[in-house]
Amino acid sequence: MPRHALIIVDLQNDFVEGGALAVSGGLELIPLANQWMPQFDVVIATQDWHPKNHQSFASQHPGVSIGDVFDLNGLSQVAWPDHCIQNSFGAKLVDGLNLSRINTIIQKGTDPEIDSYSGFFDNGHRKATCLADFLRSNDVDRVSVMGIATDYCVRFTALDAVTAGFQTTLILPGCRGVEMQTGDIKAAVEQMAAAGVTISPETP
């Protein structure tokens, strides 16, 4: 029987209230994730997992400020505050998330020279993580995506999922975005819809 996976994107301390790159409403997703996990055959969590010299950090580039866009090894890169540094508190999955229901954790963003918003590939689509292989070897044909941030990691994870051939749903009430510019979240949702992602306003 083909199976349905829940992909929980980057529910980590640095992305929720009080974190280095806090996204408004992030903490609200913890009870939702816990409530929804039992309804899926397979549950995956992604984890942004940067070395402390990650080149997406504004701190690594004199003269670059947080939010600036610069060229990183040929790719357009947003400069972020230091966040999700490997083994730090900020990189931990949020307290209260029911880890016992999570089948595997996919770490990404480990190469200091390239960012990795998607749980499937780095931003240059140069290297794949284990996520697609994990899903296929578990007979998954459908994925539903929730988490942080709608306009960054959720967006690129859902786009890569649908491109990889998985029937992909975005659980809208389970997502929160950065909204660096007004309209970013709306544009991200429209891009996912145009790519074939089903946008669900309902809870699963």
CB burial of residue 112 (10 Å; 0-12, 13-18, 19+)? middle
Based on the shown chain and the rule CB under 6 A, indicate whether residue 152 belongs to the binding site for ligand VGL: yes
153 catalytic residue (yes or no): yes
Residues 75-94 that bind ligand VGL (CB under 6 A): 80
In the set 6, 7, 8, 10, which binds ligand VGL (CB under 6 A)?
Answer: 10
The DSSP line for 179-201 is -SSTTHHHHHHHHHHHTT-EEE-
153 binds ligand VGL (CB under 6 A): yes
Closest to ligand VGL by CB, 48 or 122: 48
Stretch that binds ligand VGL, among 58-66, 125-133, 135-143, 147-155 (CB under 6 A): 147-155
User: How many residues of this chain bind Zn ion (CB under 5 A)?
Assistant: 1
CB of 79 vs Zn ion, minimal distance in Å: 11
Binding ligand VGL by CB under 6 A: which of 91, 135, 148, 189? 148
- Check binding of 151 to Zn ion (CB under 5 A): no
* Residues whose CB falls within 8 Å of the CB of residue 185, separated by 6 or more in sequence, listed in order: 150, 151, 177, 179
* Cβ at position 198, least distance to ligand VGL in Å: 21
Residue 130 appears among annotated catalytic residues: no
108 is catalytic: yes
Region 39-78 residues binding Zn ion, contact defined as CB under 5 A: 48
State which amino acid sits at residue 69. V
Active-site entry in 84, 115, 122, 153: 153
Amino acid (one-letter) located at 57 = F
CA distances from 19 to 16, 84, 91, 94, 110 (A): 6, 9, 10, 10, 20
| DSSP letter string, 50-113 | B-TT-TTBGGGSTT--TT-EEEETTEEEE-B-S--BTTSTTTSBPTT--GGG--EEEEE--STT
Residue selected from 6, 22, 37, 149 as contacting ligand VGL according to rule CB under 6 A:
149
What residues act catalytically? Answer: 10, 108, 153
Residues in contact with Zn ion by CB under 5 A are 48
